[in-house]
């Protein structure tokens, strides 16, 4: 049986990808950001899964306004890093797991969540920056990745509660797959940030740290926080945090072990938050 061993949460700031790709990780501005992932890179070496189920949001890359799926699961064998306007990031092709992804889609849709099935798409920084943060710059990603894109760009966007419940359905789907796979689920994007208008640059450390506390200890309660609180308190793009509830929902009901916690301000326009939670056997 496939089983979820851990969940990883991280911001996916595009400037972090650019800093890595341009060799700026040693600069004083970036050092504290990357230092927060030193533990994580070692942890990943020690805990490389077979498959990562990676929850992220597409940033007007694979999905334009022609089609706006609320939840989209990648069922392809491979995904090309996207050209977001600067040329594609120089990172490896992402290898998928079509059979496993199709199993999850089948199970989750029958569990009453309407997923959009995607058989061809490019993946943007939302997916590739977390991989870079956790694995560094290898020639090949060391495991397979199932991309799971959530619409947090055009309203209405899914609620925290729906994301949390969906995570539970994904957890059930993974547990029902009969191959003995070690699976991690990652929730990416988020922490306080606003990229638009005269309120650009909003950072709310108190809100962010409270979110991290509750994500660990009180996900049920945290799932009830309405959108407007995220937007008012954590900025218009702080709404991305609802995606972390998908990963948390897929975890076991037992309290997780906190393997790592990190928070830093700023990276470009945002706060950087990061957690590694291990499922307790």
Candidates 37-45, 47-55, 154-162, 250-258; binding stretch for another protein (CB under 8 A) = 154-162
Please spell the DSSP secondary structure of 175-188, one letter per residue: HT--S--EEEEEEE
Binding pattern for the stretch 155-174 against another protein, x by CB under 8 A and - elsewhere: xx------------------
24 binds another protein (CB under 8 A): no
Distance CA 237, CA 233 (A): 11
For residue 19, the minimal CB distance to another protein (Å) is 10
Cβ atoms < 10 Å from Cβ of 33: 24
Candidates 45-53, 82-90, 131-139, 167-175; binding stretch for another protein (CB under 8 A) = 82-90
For residue 226, the minimal CB distance to another protein (Å) is 8
For residue 276, the minimal CB distance to another protein (Å) is 25
Q: How many residues does the chain have?
A: 281
* Both tokens assigned to 209: 């740290």
Nearer CB in complex with another protein: 1/200? 200
Whether 193 is catalytic = yes
30 binds another protein (CB under 8 A): no
151 binds another protein (CB under 8 A): no
Candidates 110-118, 139-147, 211-219, 264-272; binding stretch for another protein (CB under 8 A) = 264-272
Candidates 41-49, 105-113, 211-219, 228-236; binding stretch for another protein (CB under 8 A) = 228-236
205 binds another protein (CB under 8 A): yes
CB 89 within 8 A of CB 22: no
- Peptide bond before 266: cis, by omega within 30 degrees of 0? yes
- From the list 125, 260, 264, 274, the catalytic residue is 125
Distance CA 234, CA 225 (A): 12
- From the list 12, 103, 193, 260, the catalytic residue is 193
Distance CA 61, CA 83 (A): 8
* Both tokens assigned to 38: 């030193």
* Both tokens assigned to 7: 């969940």
Q: How many residues bind another protein (CB under 8 A)?
A: 46
4, 246, 264 from 250: Cα distances, Å: 8, 6, 26
Distance CA 192, CA 202 (A): 7
**Single residue of 131, 194, 274, 277 touching another protein by CB under 8 A:** 194
Nearer CB in complex with another protein: 25/268? 268
* Residues in region 96-135 near another protein by CB under 8 A: none
Candidates 100-108, 147-155, 161-169, 242-250; binding stretch for another protein (CB under 8 A) = 147-155
Contacts of 217 (CB under 8 A, 6+ apart): 255
Contacts of 103 (CB under 8 A, 6+ apart): 173, 176, 177
CB 93 within 8 A of CB 49: no
For residue 192, the minimal CB distance to another protein (Å) is 8
Cβ atoms < 10 Å from Cβ of 11: 27
CB 276 within 8 A of CB 130: no
Residues that bind another protein (CB under 8 A): 14-15, 18, 29, 59-61, 64-66, 82-87, 153-156, 192, 194-205, 207, 227-228, 231-233, 236-237, 265-266, 268-269, 271
Residues that are catalytic: 125, 193
């Amino acid at each position: 049986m496939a089983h979820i061993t851990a969940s990883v949460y991280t911001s996916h700031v595009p400037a972090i990808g650019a800093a890595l790709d341009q060799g700026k990780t040693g600069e004083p501005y970036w050092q504290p950001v990357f230092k927060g992932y030193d533990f994580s890179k070692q942890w990943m070496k020690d805990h490389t899964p077979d498959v990562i189920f990676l929850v992220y949001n597409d940033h007007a890359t694979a999905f334009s306004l022609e089609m706006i799926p609320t939840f989209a699961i990648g069922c392809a064998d491979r995904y090309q890093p996207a050209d977001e306007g600067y040329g594609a990031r120089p990172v490896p092709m992402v290898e998928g797991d079509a059979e496993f992804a199709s199993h999850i889609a089948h199970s989750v849709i029958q569990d009453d969540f309407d997923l959009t099935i995607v058989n061809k798409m490019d993946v943007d920084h939302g997916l590739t920056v977390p991989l870079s943060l956790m694995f560094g710059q290898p020639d090949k990603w060391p495991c397979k990745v199932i991309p799971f894109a959530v619409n947090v760009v055009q309203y209405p966007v899914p609620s925290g509660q729906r994301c949390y419940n969906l995570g539970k359905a994904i957890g059930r789907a993974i547990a029902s797959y009969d191959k003995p796979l070690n699976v991690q689920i990652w929730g990416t994007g988020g922490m306080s940030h606003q990229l638009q208008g005269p309120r650009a640059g909003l950072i709310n450390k108190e809100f962010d740290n409270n979110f991290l506390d509750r994500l660990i200890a009180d996900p049920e309660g945290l799932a009830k926080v309405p959108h407007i609180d995220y937007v008012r308190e954590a900025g218009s793009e702080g709404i991305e945090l609802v995606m972390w509830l998908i990963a948390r929902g897929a975890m076991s009901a037992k309290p997780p072990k906190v393997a790592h916690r990190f928070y830093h301000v700023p990276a470009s326009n945002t706060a950087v938050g990061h957690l590694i939670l291990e499922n307790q056997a």
